[in-house]
Amino acid sequence: MTSAELLDQALVEEATKKSGLIWVKGAGAPAARALWHVWHEGAACLVGDGPGEQPLPGLVDGGSAEVTVRSKDKGGRLVTWPAAVSELAPGSEEWEAAVAELKGKRLNAPDGEAMTRRWLSECRVLRLVPAGSVAPLPDGSLAAAPVTSPATTRRAVPAGLPRLLIKGRKRK
């Protein structure tokens, strides 16, 4: 392995370990999705696709994904890396080890200690293993334009409102 590849590997591992969320775009998914995870044995581990858990669209066993890691303090993009997706067999030794790590990071679980039994029967546990070199940082913004909608957050002030407000102050 070259020194550049070792630096990329170290960057991916450290950034992903320290970030609470990663943005993952599975093959065929329309957009990246923010997912909570844990870094365990050289891969980002995720749990989802079950009741009360995060959806994992486009992430299939044997597929690929693009993972973007943000800075924990500033929220900006640190690194984007390609990943190979593998689903852990429920109840296997690898599954048990990953779930032990995930369980400690799961916040606000509705069922507490029964959570791992629910994950065993109703959810998928995935490993996203770095597969290839990191993508170069973009030169410009990758922000997407908002989808057009008839919904608004602010409208013009009605013409009579200032007079009503002034009258209310005079009565006091």
The confidence score (pLDDT) of residue 25 equals: 94
Other C-beta atoms closer than 10 Å to the C-beta of 65 total 25
Does residue 79 carry a pLDDT above 90?
yes
Q: What are phi and psi of 168, to 5 degrees?
A: -65, -35
Q: In this structure, is residue 112 part of a structural domain?
A: yes
Identify the domain containing residue 133 by its residue range: 3-138
Q: Are 59 and 126 in contact (CB under 8 A)?
A: yes
pTM for the full predicted model: 0.79
The confidence score (pLDDT) of residue 30 equals: 85
Q: In this structure, is residue 157 part of a structural domain?
A: no
Q: In this structure, is residue 69 part of a structural domain?
A: yes
Q: Which pLDDT band holds residue 144 (cuts at 50, 70, 90)?
A: confident
Percent of the chain residues topping a pLDDT of 90: 54
Q: What's the structural domain count of the chain?
A: 1
Bridge partners of 64, per DSSP, are: 84
**What average pLDDT score do residues 16-26 get?**
92
CATH number, residue 10: 2.30.110.10
Q: In this structure, is residue 146 part of a structural domain?
A: no
Other C-beta atoms closer than 10 Å to the C-beta of 3 total 7
Q: In this structure, is residue 79 part of a structural domain?
A: yes
Does residue 172 carry a pLDDT above 60?
no
The confidence score (pLDDT) of residue 61 equals: 95
**What average pLDDT score do residues 78-86 get?**
95
Q: In this structure, is residue 149 part of a structural domain?
A: no
Distance CA 83, CA 16 (A): 12
Does residue 151 carry a pLDDT above 80?
no
3-state secondary structure of 122: helix
* DSSP state letters, 9-72: HHHHHHHHHH-SEEEEEETT-SS-EEEE-EEETTEEEEEESSTTS---TT--TT-EEEEEEE-T
Q: In this structure, is residue 168 part of a structural domain?
A: no
Q: In this structure, is residue 23 part of a structural domain?
A: yes
